[in-house]
Amino acid sequence: MQAETEHDRSFTQIVRKPQALVAAARNNVELWANLLIIGWALGFMLWQGVGFAITVGTVFAIWAILSVSLNLVVGFTGLLSVGHVGFFGIGAYTVAILTSDAKYEQLRTEAIPTFGWPFFAALPLGVLLAGIVAIAVGVVFNRFRDDIYVLVSFGFAIISFNVFLNWRNLTRGAFGIHEIPRPAVGSWVLDRELEFLIFALALLGLIMLLSWLIVTSSFGRVLTAIREDEQAIAVFGYRTTHYKLAVWTISAMMAGLAGGLFASWTRFVDPNSFILLESMLLVAIVILGGLATIWGSLLGAMAFVLLEEGMRFLPFLPAIHIGQARLVVLGILLVLLMLFRPQGLVGRYRL
C-alpha cells in the first residue's frame, strides 16, 4: 500500500514539474526492474529468433501460472508455503496417467493402468484432484503459522515427492511416464509449439484474470487483512480459517493446472521434476518478482526463465551445470533481496 502512495505522489510531481521525471526515474526500482527484464526478453527474442522465443515462452507460461498461484498464498495471504510443487506434481501425474497409453517393456518395471483419456477430460480432473488434496491438507495446515507453517509445507512437498516416487504401480516410480499426448480437440492436435504456446498463454491469461478478480474483490481484501493482522480481522467476525482454506485450495488448483500443462508439454514426467528444491525455487521466483502483485509474479518468472536460458550462452559454464547454476544465482539473489529489498522487485508487501 505504501509503495502505491509514493508512486502517486511522484506522479503528481512529474505533472507539475517535468524535470522531476528524471529524478523520479532514478530511484524507481520498479521502473528499472520492468525495463531491464522486458528489455532483456525483447533483446533475447531478437537475438535468438522466433523458434527460441516460442520454446522459452511456454516454459515461462508454466512458471508464471505457478508463481501467480503461489503469490495468492504467500503474497496476498501471508502464508509462506514451500510445498506448492506437490500440487504441481498431482496435476502433472493425473494428466500423465490418464492420457498416456504407452506400452512399456515389462522387464524391469511394473505395469501401470492405462486410460487413454483425452487431455481436456484429464486436465479438469487433475485440477479437481489437486483441489481435493489441498482441502485435506489445508484443514490440517490452517492451525499453523510462520516457521511451523514453513516446516509442514516442506513436509507436504516431501510426502508428495515420496508418493510419486514410491507408488510404483501407478506412477512407475523413478522411470516416469512417457508418451503423454498433446492436447487435442477432435482431430486438431496442438502438436506445433506455437499452438501450444498460444494455449498456454491463454491459460495464463485466464489464471491472471481469475487472480485479479480474487485480489480485487472483497474476498481478496479479507485475505490482505488476514496477512496484516489475523486476530483483528477475526474479531470482526470473519472466519479466517475458511478464507485461508479457500485461497489455499484455489491456489493449489491453479498449480494443478500448471502441472497438467507441464506434463503434456514435456510429454514425460518423473519424480525429479517435483523435488523440494523446485519448490524452493518457486518461492524464490515469487519473492524475486514481488509479493502481492500479479505483475510481479510474471516478472519474476520471466526473469528466471531468461536467467536459465541466458546461462546457456555463458562460455565458461558447461551445459550440465546449468540446472544447478540457476539455483546458485537464485539463492544469492534471494539473500540480496532479503537484505536490501524484502518486498521483491515490484512487491507491495514485506515478509
Residues of this chain that bind another protein (CB under 8 A): 80, 82, 140, 143-144, 146-148, 150-152, 154-156, 158-159, 162-163, 165-166, 275-277, 280-281, 283-284, 287, 321, 324-328, 330-335, 338-339, 342, 350-351
Q: What whole-number distance in Å separates Cα of residue 310 and Cα of residue 326?
A: 10
- Contact of 84 with 276, CB cutoff 8 Å: no
Helices (H), the chain: 2-16, 20-26, 29-48, 50-71, 85-99, 119-141, 146-166, 168-171, 193-216, 218-228, 230-235, 240-266, 276-289, 294-311, 322-340
Q: 9 is written with which cell numbers?
A: 505522489
Other CB atoms within 10 A of residue 136 CB = 11
Question: Between residues 314 and 338, which has the closer beta carbon with respect to another protein?
Answer: 338
Question: Between residues 82 and 223, which has the closer beta carbon with respect to another protein?
Answer: 82
Question: Between residues 156 and 265, which has the closer beta carbon with respect to another protein?
Answer: 156
**Smallest distance from the beta carbon of 219 to another protein, in angstroms?**
22
Question: Between residues 201 and 234, which has the closer beta carbon with respect to another protein?
Answer: 234
- CA angle 341/342/347 to nearest 5° reads 85
**Smallest distance from the beta carbon of 225 to another protein, in angstroms?**
16
Distance linking the first and last C-alpha atoms of the chain: 14
Residue 177's nearest CA partner among 263, 54, 60, 277 is: 263
Question: Between residues 25 and 151, which has the closer beta carbon with respect to another protein?
Answer: 151
Q: What whole-number distance in Å separates Cα of residue 292 and Cα of residue 228?
A: 12
**Smallest distance from the beta carbon of 320 to another protein, in angstroms?**
9
Question: Between residues 135 and 152, which has the closer beta carbon with respect to another protein?
Answer: 152
**Smallest distance from the beta carbon of 279 to another protein, in angstroms?**
10
**Smallest distance from the beta carbon of 196 to another protein, in angstroms?**
30
Residue 75's nearest CA partner among 260, 241, 300 is: 300
**Smallest distance from the beta carbon of 346 to another protein, in angstroms?**
17
